[in-house]
Amino acid sequence: QKEVEQNSGPLSVPEGAIASLNCTYSDRGSQSFFWYRQYSGKSPELIMFIYSNGDKEDGRFTAQLNKASQYVSLLIRDSQPSDSATYLCATPKRDDKIIFGKGTRLHILP
Amino acid sequence: ETGVTQTPRHLVMGMTNKKSLKCEQHLGHNAMYWYKQSAKKPLELMFVYNFKEQTENNSVPSRFSPECPNSSHLFLHLHTLQPEDSALYLCASSQDIQGYSPLHFGNGTRLTVT
């Protein structure tokens, strides 16, 4: 089993709808989770992090963490064309090395 | 300048060349990293430096040689690379190497080995 798994997509979502991005992880000991957004040809930029079970909201973004089921998700409300990018899920391993998933390509349809 | 800056942005080199990638962070962070990003593969951690001491070498071939003269600067020296080494090389920094510190990335160097 891969350490961090994401569906590579592309995930197509109509403008104004909610985009839901999912990530599963294998290490039950993982404590913190990061979502990065990467536009084509650019470097990843941090958009959300979550440490506790439940939801964390920041503007149009909501991160959801369920440690019992070992998944973390990112919801983007009122999706905009500018949200079209690859979204990377990441978590540190027990030795603190941050491991990334392959990323999910999100395409917002105007 | 702010953030993490990398130079050059693009690099084309032959297999017999020697070149270096440079990274500088202006965030006051203690840890710096080199990552490799290839198409359709996850970001691969290459090297980690904490307070300019190397703490991680993720089984990287010796044709990649890192150097960290201080907590703000990081280099990646390249020598006799292979075409499969063509990728986006990303430098990142974080406050420390503990897992709660998010990474801040530079814009990357797009490397092509011919």
CB contact under 8 A, B105 and A45: yes
pLDDT band of residue A19 (cuts 50, 70, 90) is very high
- A16 to each of A78, A108, A110, B1, B28, how far by Cα in Å? 4, 9, 9, 36, 39
What would the pLDDT profile of B76-102 be if each residue is shown by its tens digit? Answer: 999 999 999 999 999 999 998 877 788
Q: Is the pLDDT of residue B1 over 70?
A: no
Percent of chain A scored above 90 by pLDDT?
77
Residues ≥6 apart with Cβ < 8 Å to B3: B25, B26, B27, B104, B106
Please give the residue that has the higher pLDDT: either B50 or A87.
A87
- Which whole number is the average pLDDT over A66-75? 95
Q: Is the pLDDT of residue A66 over 60?
A: yes
pLDDT at B9: 95
CB contact under 8 A, A97 and B56: yes
- Using a CB-CB cut-off of 8 Å, the residues of chain A touching B39 are none
Percent of chain B scored above 70 by pLDDT?
98
CA–CA distance, B15 with B20 (Å, rounded to integer):
14
CB contact under 8 A, B90 and A92: no
What would the pLDDT profile of B19-62 be if each residue is shown by its tens digit? Answer: 999 999 999 999 999 999 998 788 999 999 988 788 877 789 99
* Residues in A lying within 8 Å of B, measured between beta carbons: 4, 8, 31-32, 34, 36, 42-46, 49, 51, 88, 90-93, 96-103
pLDDT at A1: 62
